[in-house]
């Protein structure tokens, strides 16, 4: 089976999804969440303390999914661990066969259920990428100490599409590429027009040849949730037309899935868009249905095509 990196190198349009590890001691609970995505999603993200709340270790969860034949994308945040712990987790991930990394700052503890927890932020996301790249390319820690074996990391970053104004340059994304980013998964952007203009600007600066862009989308549950996302989740783009479509729907949940499938069809035709990343907090069951419908309707999304 081709890896996520190999699929992207071959210019196949990929679909990734996301699983929040459960608050559970039972491995079966994680497997039950992820198995519906096996054979559908090209890779599955494991969130790392999303919302600043504890759950099963993302590193352990990624290792478990790899054992189940599901390619994981390990999210690592800088919030909870200093550089020593992060370096140890990178070594652990590589030893478990985890290749794909998404480095993130992490939500502030004040947003979670233990707001008095102390944040660490010893490294930022770019520095963590640089550390992972050095482990992969030189086989050594930042101190110069050699690490036995081999890490085959495929390094990702987060991004937030915008409708670029005149004169705008993607300096932040350029810095992430310089730090080692090879793919990006973006914040929710449910506007194909914005994506087209954004990616075209990235292409003007040569970034789409250096970085695989996966656009974040969601199967919406209701107009109310769409409005909440627009207002509360920084960087989220959801057009008013989609909100109106949800408001008018007799079955908003089904309509949200249909919108998501339609959007995948549009995005896969935009030059420079390498894939989509589906995030569906509290709506996990919708994701396999969306992927299945998208692959059935768009030949380019069929793994056998």
Averaged pLDDT, 214-225: 97
pLDDT at 304 over 70: no
3-state secondary structure the chain: CCCHHHHHHCCCCEEEEEECCCCCCCHHHHHHHHHHHCCCCCEEEECCCHHHCCCCCHHHHHHHHHHCCCCEEEEEECCCCCHHHHHHHHHHHHHCCCCEEEEECCCCHHHCCCCCCCCCCCCCHHHHHHHHHHHHHHCECCCCCECCCCCCCEEEEEECCCCCCCCCCCHHHHHHHHHCCCEEEEEEECCHHHHHHHHHHHHHCCHHHCCEEEEEECCCCCHHHHHHHHHHCCCCECCHHHHHHHHHCCCHHHHHHHHHHHHHHHHCCCCCEEEEEECCCCCCCHHHHHHHHHHHHCHHHCCCC
pLDDT category at 297 given cuts 50, 70, 90 is: confident
Looking at the chain, the whole-number percentage of residues with pLDDT higher than 90 is 95
Closest to 199 in 3D by CA, of 276, 297, 279, 300: 276
pLDDT of residue 302: 55
What pLDDT score does 281 carry?
80
Q: 305: pLDDT confidence band, cut at 50, 70 and 90?
A: very low
- Residue 113, both tokens: 């259920």
Q: Which residue has the higher pLDDT, 207 or 282?
A: 207
pLDDT category of residue 301 using cuts at 50, 70 and 90: low
pLDDT mean over 271-279: 98
Q: Torsion angle of alpha carbons 221, 226, 231, 237, nearest 10°?
A: 130
- Binned at pLDDT 50, 70 and 90, residue 282 comes out as confident
- Measured torsion, CA atoms of residues 90, 170, 267, 133, in degrees rounded to the nearest 10: -20
pTM score of the predicted model: 0.95
For 153-191, the pLDDT digits (tens) are 999 999 999 999 999 999 999 999 999 999 999 999 999
* 8 Å CB contact between 132 and 141: no
Low-confidence winner among 75-89, 98-112, 139-153, 291-305 (lowest mean pLDDT): 291-305
Q: CA-CA distance, 85 to 90, in Å (whole number)?
A: 9
272-294 burial code (b ≥16 CB/10 A, e <16): bbbbbbbbbeebbebbbbbbebb
Residue range 57-86, pLDDT digits in tens? 999 999 999 999 999 999 999 999 999 999
Instruction: Give the least confident one: 25-34, 38-47, 188-197, 276-285.
Output: 276-285
Average pLDDT estimate for 218-229: 96
């Amino acid at each position: 089976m081709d890896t996520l990196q190999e699929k992207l190198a071959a210019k196949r349009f990929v679909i990734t999804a996301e699983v929040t590890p459960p608050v559970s001691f039972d491995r079966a609970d994680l497997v039950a969440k992820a198995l519906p995505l096996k054979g559908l999603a090209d890779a599955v993200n494991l969130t790392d303390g999303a919302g600043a709340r504890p759950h099963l270790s993302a590193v352990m969860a990624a290792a478990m999914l790899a054992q189940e034949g599901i390619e994981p994308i390990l999210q690592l945040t800088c919030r909870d661990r200093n550089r020593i712990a992060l370096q140890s987790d990178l070594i652990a991930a590589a030893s478990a066969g985890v290749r794909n990394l998404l480095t993130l700052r992490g939500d502030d503890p004040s947003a979670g259920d233990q707001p008095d927890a102390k944040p660490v932020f010893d490294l930022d996301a770019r520095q963590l990428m640089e550390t992972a790249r050095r482990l992969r390319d030189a086989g050594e820690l930042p101190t110069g100490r050699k690490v036995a074996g081999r890490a085959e990391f495929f390094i990702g970053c987060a991004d937030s599409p915008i409708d670029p104004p005149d004169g705008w340059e993607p300096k932040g994304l350029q810095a992430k590429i310089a730090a080692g980013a090879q793919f990006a998964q973006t914040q929710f952007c449910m506007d194909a027009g914005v994506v087209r203009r954004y990616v075209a600007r990235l292409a003007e600066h040569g970034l789409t040849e250096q970085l695989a862009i996966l656009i974040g989308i969601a199967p919406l549950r209701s107009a109310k949730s769409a409005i909440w996302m627009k207002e509360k989740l920084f960087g989220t783009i959801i057009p008013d037309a989609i909100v109106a479509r949800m408001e008018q729907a007799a079955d908003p949940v089904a309509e949200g899935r249909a919108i998501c499938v339609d959007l995948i069809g549009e995005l896969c035709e935009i030059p420079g868009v390498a894939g989509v990343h589906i995030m569906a907090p509290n709506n996990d069951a919708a994701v396999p249905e969306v992927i299945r419908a998208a692959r059935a309707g768009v030949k380019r999304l069929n793994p056998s095509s």
